[in-house]
Chain A
Amino acid sequence: MTDAPMVGSMPTSAPSRGGATVFDVHDVSVHYGDFRAVRDVSMQVKQHQITAFIGPSGCGKSTMLRCFNRMNDLIDTARVEGDISYHGVDLYDPAVNPVEVRRRIGMVFQKPNPFPKSIYDNVAYGPKVAGAKGNLDDVVEQALQGAALWDEVKDRLKESGMSLSGGQQQRLCIARAIATDPEVLLMDEPCSALDPIATGRIEDLMVEIKERYTIIIVTHNMQQAARVSDRTAFFTTEVSEESDRRTGLLVEFSDTDKIFTNPADERTENYVTGRFG
């Protein structure tokens, strides 16, 4: 962990690489107490791609996303069934330490949530708790450059992260996430609290950094999904027979182009053309 992540120093001509499977999801259902929020999700997430989750509110996009870094462990009532493997390792094996998972699979939240600490400390925190010793200046600088924030904050690293604008705060959160040198970034509606300009910057950033990371993004903005993602998963809800409650399920998962131009499922078509939801 002492070697700094090489973000920002990527050759711009590197070809896009798909192929290797990062997550292999098989028949995953998630319950909150007695309530089944999503059922029977199976999918494969490929390396160095941006995968978008779209679908109506409450269909379990966030719930699914939080399965990938075991964030659901923090909710007392949440229970995950089925298999999720990460490069062949069962993420829910009892021997797996969720803390290690989260260091390798970073997360960016809907509302920017910097720590009420300095910009520097925000970024340095992850490496520090992971055991990084010595001077973290390089790590901090490269992470901030990787999040396209360095130029704006390099002269005020000691100022509070809360003093930044909303868009800057969200990029600070991205910097904080990539400072631990993760392989995957999970983003749950990262732009929903931002104005169009800040949103544009983050979208550009995502496309830029996908050479280094595998990204899964939840979004309600279909243009955003179409613009940035390689693959798109469409979720929806159905009302279960036994109870009145809605359960989410994965309807269709394929190349983004196909989802938006030639979806296989009628429900997908209705949703992307705005006839539903």
Chain B
Amino acid sequence: MSDLTTPAAYTLEDFRGSRKRMRTEHLVRAVLFLAALLSIVISVLIVASLVGEAWTFVSQVEAASLWSDGWFPRRGIYDIKTLLTGTLIVTVIAMAVAMPLGLGAAIYLSEYAPAGVRKLLKPVLEILAGIPSVVLGFFALTFLSPVIVQRLSSEATQFNIAAAGIGVGILTIPLVASISEDAMRSVPAALREASYGLGARKITTTIRVVIPAAVSGLVAAFIVAVSRAIGETMVVFIAAGATGGSLFSTDPFKPGQTMTAAIASQAAGTDQVRGAGLTFQSLFFVALLLFAITLVLNVLAGRFVQRVRQAY
């Protein structure tokens, strides 16, 4: 105990602290840093594992086989536009389902729903978000296809792109709803009050004030949902039907192939990726393409989310 009358003569030594405590502190810090760094390592590994084989593919493939009339890697036919078109159609259908429903749900939850209803509905949407995609794939195949798609078109086959698209759309509803709702709820109450103060009705306030103010967030929701739809595999794999390969097709009522399903179907069934020539490498090429597209979309969505944060 320090003497009360004369100040203790301190030296630097008194302030070094317990060696053992500091050693623990440094050790913990190093371990935590490594954990954080691992995420970078993972990114590097993803890119590294994609680029090598993708490069082999690009440098060895015959240019003509990249622009033909279908995607049959085991036969050396790698028409990329078949996959891109399939992906595009699925995404468009998915967004046609998810945007109105997700946005509508978000507007209702953010602007109209009484607190009690909101508290009940939010978890329901979150549970919808937790449904595994294989389940939606089976649902698309056994319910959406016969009950909805085949009624819309008598030509529709059992396996078809449209059912898969609707399934993917259902999968992204909660995503659209939650990002849009966040954006609208972060619109300051003062803006709404100003609008009501001018005698505006609720619908006017919502459409003219809240939605324009939240537009960055709504755009972000759209981009994230598109990215998610492009990256969704199992719904298409199960419900769109083109397992071995697919002819070029723009008909949503026929079987088709997306980039993701093309990757998965090369690996499935045979228990191992194999096939003639560049089959194995073609997977990596498609995956690299997929990775690049979703990365660009995610970065873009991040920018829009940032804008919401800065605005309010």
Chain A interface residues (CB < 8 Å from chain B) = 3, 5-6, 17, 20-22, 47, 86-90, 93, 95-97, 99-101, 131, 181, 183, 211-212
How far apart sit A97 and B15, CA to CA, in the bound complex (Å)? 6
Tell me the nearest residue of chain A to B13, going by C-beta: A95
Give the residues in chain A near B5, CB-CB below 8 Å: 17
Q: Which of B6, B8, B17 contacts A99 (CB 8 A)?
A: B17
Q: Are B12 and A96 in contact (CB under 8 A)?
A: yes
Q: Are A181 and B17 in contact (CB under 8 A)?
A: no
Chain B interface residues (CB < 8 Å from chain A) = 1-2, 4-12, 14-18, 21-22
**By CB atoms of chain B within 10 A, which of A3, A20, A47, A100 has the most?**
A100
User: How many A-B residue pairs lie within 8 Å, measured between CB atoms?
Assistant: 49
Q: Are A87 and B9 in contact (CB under 8 A)?
A: yes
User: Given A89-B15, A100-B17, do A183 and B2 touch, yes or no (CB 8 Å)?
Assistant: yes
Q: Are B21 and A99 in contact (CB under 8 A)?
A: yes
User: Given A20-B6, A97-B22, A99-B21, do A181 and B12 touch, yes or no (CB 8 Å)?
Assistant: no
Q: Are B8 and A87 in contact (CB under 8 A)?
A: yes
* Interface SS majority for chain A: loop
Top 9 A-B residue pairs of the complex, sorted by shortest distance between their CB atoms? A97-B17, A96-B15, A20-B7, A87-B10, A100-B17, A100-B15, A89-B10, A95-B12, A87-B7
Q: Which of A5, A47, A95, A131 contacts B7 (CB 8 A)?
A: A47
Tell me the nearest residue of chain A to B22, going by C-beta: A97
Q: Are B16 and A97 in contact (CB under 8 A)?
A: yes
Tell me the nearest residue of chain A to B7, going by C-beta: A20
Give the residues in chain B near A22, CB-CB below 8 Å: 7
Tell me the nearest residue of chain B to A20, going by C-beta: B7
How far apart sit A88 and B11, CA to CA, in the bound complex (Å)? 8
What is the distance, in angstroms, from B295's C-beta to the closest C-beta of chain A?
A: 29
Give the residues in chain B near A131, CB-CB below 8 Å: 18, 21
Q: Which of B6, B11, B21, B22 contacts A89 (CB 8 A)?
A: B11
How far apart sit A134 and B21, CA to CA, in the bound complex (Å)? 18
User: Given A6-B1, A17-B5, do A100 and B10 touch, yes or no (CB 8 Å)?
Assistant: no
**By CB atoms of chain A within 10 A, which of B1, B14, B15, B22 has the most?**
B15
What is the distance, in angstroms, from A206's C-beta to the closest C-beta of chain B?
A: 17
